[in-house]
Structure 1
Amino acid sequence: MFDFIKGKVDFIDIQYIVIEVNGVGYQIHCPNPFIFQKELEEECKIYTYQHVREDLIRLYGFKTRKERHLFEKLLNVSGIGPKGALAILASGQPEQLVNAIEEEDEKFLVKFPGVGKKTARQIILDLKGKLDEFAPNLFQQGVAEEFSKPKGNTYSKELEEAVEALKALGYVDREINKIVPQLEKEETTTDQYIKKALQLMLKQ
């Protein structure tokens, strides 16, 4: 398994980034690929997790080892796969996640895409009391929301990218349409739109 990959950020997609190392491009799926926007065409280090199944080998990447470790913890929960774990991490608020688990707050956990009551209960059963190492402010903020662009609206390029990234994480139109008007009130980067969107979603 690769512990980390260090190279130039060559490309950013709504679900992954491409890191070029000695002429080879590594496709690495991330909770929020747009946190690497400032490093486009620059060298960076990304901590990786290699996921292998019969029909797929995929690399997942994280800003810190602790973020990767939390991803691995989530993968150990029955009912959560890599996509679901990424969506949860994209919230960028691990302290809220840990608090919800410790306080058995199922209502908070079901706000993440793909997490129903059964899965929320399983997260609590499997992880409660096992996440003390994950203190606040250890992770980059991101978002795990799915947007749909209301007809007749014209978004900025950055908001469009955020909308598509959030869709890829599994949120639905109904949830997205509630917060898009608040996002449109400001002009910012794709990464910041994503962060703001998730913060709003988790408050609903």
Structure 2
Amino acid sequence: MISSISGIVKSISLNSVVVEVGGVGILIQVPNRVAISLSAGATASFHTYLVVREDALILFGFTDLIDRDFFELLLSVTGIGPKVAQAILSGSDSATIATAISSSNLKTLESFPGLGKKGAQRLVLELKDKVAGFASKNANKSLPLGNQVENALQGLGYSAKDAASMVSQVLSSSGKENLSSSEILKLALKNSGKE
């Protein structure tokens, strides 16, 4: 198994990056929130999980070891494959998802692409007793500004997917460095027409 990869980011797409290691470009599937945080030409390290299929070898990468471990836990749920697990982690970090599972917050879980009501119920049923460690491991980390704003937007009634999209749009189009969370929130609401 390939446990980690470090190298130079050569290209970035919505849910994947190509990392050059020793002259070889390796395609790594990453959550969207990871992809938007990277820049081409920068050195990056990923904790990886290799999925072996009949017709392909697919490498999933995470910048945080906790997210990779949570990805593996999501794969243990009946009906959750790597693409859905990746989509779930694209919507939020493992601590937020673990908290939603442990508190049986179906509304938040249903907002992740590919889950729906039954998938959210299955996550709660199969993982409720297993996620406490993930929520507590991340409890001491301060959330990045983007995640703070996403959580605020979700509190205002936006889905996790819409909130992530709004924040990434602001961060990619603002052209300003060092925006505060309140400035990001204000711009996100302005762009959506609900300021």
Runs of at least 5 residues in structure 1 that lack an aligned partner in the other structure: 144-170
Matched with 2:157 is none
Given candidates 29, 34, 37, the residue that maps to 1:35 is 37
Superposed counterparts of 1:1-204, under 5 Å = 1-32=1-32, 33-37=35-39, 40-134=40-134, 135=136, 136=139, 137=141, 187-188=174-175
Give the match's secondary structure for 2:8. strand
* Separation in structure 1 between the aligned mates of residue 130 and residue 143 of structure 2, nearest angstrom: 18
For structure 2, the 5+ residue unaligned runs are 148-160, 190-195
Equivalenced residues, count: 160
Distance in 1 (alpha carbons) for counterparts of 2:75 and 2:146: 19
The two structures, once aligned, show a CA RMSD in angstroms of 3.3
How far did 1:35 drift? Answer: 1.6
Distance in 2 between the 1:101 and 1:11 partners?
34
Larger helix fraction of residues:
2
The residue identity in structure 2 corresponding to 1:93 is: D
Q: Contact 1:77–1:126 at 8 Å: present in 2 too?
A: yes
Give the counterpart letter for 1:66 in structure 2. I
Cα distance change on mapping 1:86 and 1:61 into 2, 3 Å: same
Distance 1:72 1:142 in 2: 24
Range with greater deviation from structure 2 (134-143 or 53-62): 134-143
- Tell me how far 1:27 sits from its aligned partner: 0.2
> SS of the residue aligned with 2:36?
helix
Taking only the aligned residue pairs, the percentage that are identical comes to 35
Query: Quick check: 1:47–1:63 contact (8 Å CA) kept in 2?
Result: yes
Contact between 2:16 and 2:27, CA under 8 Å: does it hold in 1? Answer: yes
1:106-146 deviation line (CA, Å, top 9, x unaligned): 12211001111111111011111211221333887879xxx
Q: Name the structure 1 match of 2:152.
A: none
Change (3 A) 1:87 1:138: farther
Contact 2:66 2:94 in 1 (8 A): no
Q: Contact 1:90–1:141 at 8 Å: present in 2 too?
A: no
Is 1:31–1:142's contact at 8 Å kept on the other side of the alignment?
no
Query: Do the aligned residues in 2 keep the contact of 1:7 with 1:44 (CA within 8 Å)?
Result: yes
Contact conserved, 2:110 with 2:116, CA < 8 A, in 1? yes
The question of whether the paired residues in 1 share the 8 Å contact of 2:109 and 2:115 is answered with yes
- Alpha-carbon offset, residue 92 of structure 1: 3.1
Q: CA deviation at 1:42?
A: 2.5
Asked whether the equivalents of residues 28 and 59 of structure 2 are also in contact (C-alpha less than 8 Å), the reply is yes
Post-superposition CA distance 1:131-173 (Å, at most 9, x none)? 1221333887879xxxxxxxxxxxxxxxxxxxxxxxxxxx6xx
Cα 1:126–1:93 change in 2 (3 A) is: same
Give 3-state SS (helix, strand or coil) of 2:130's partner: coil
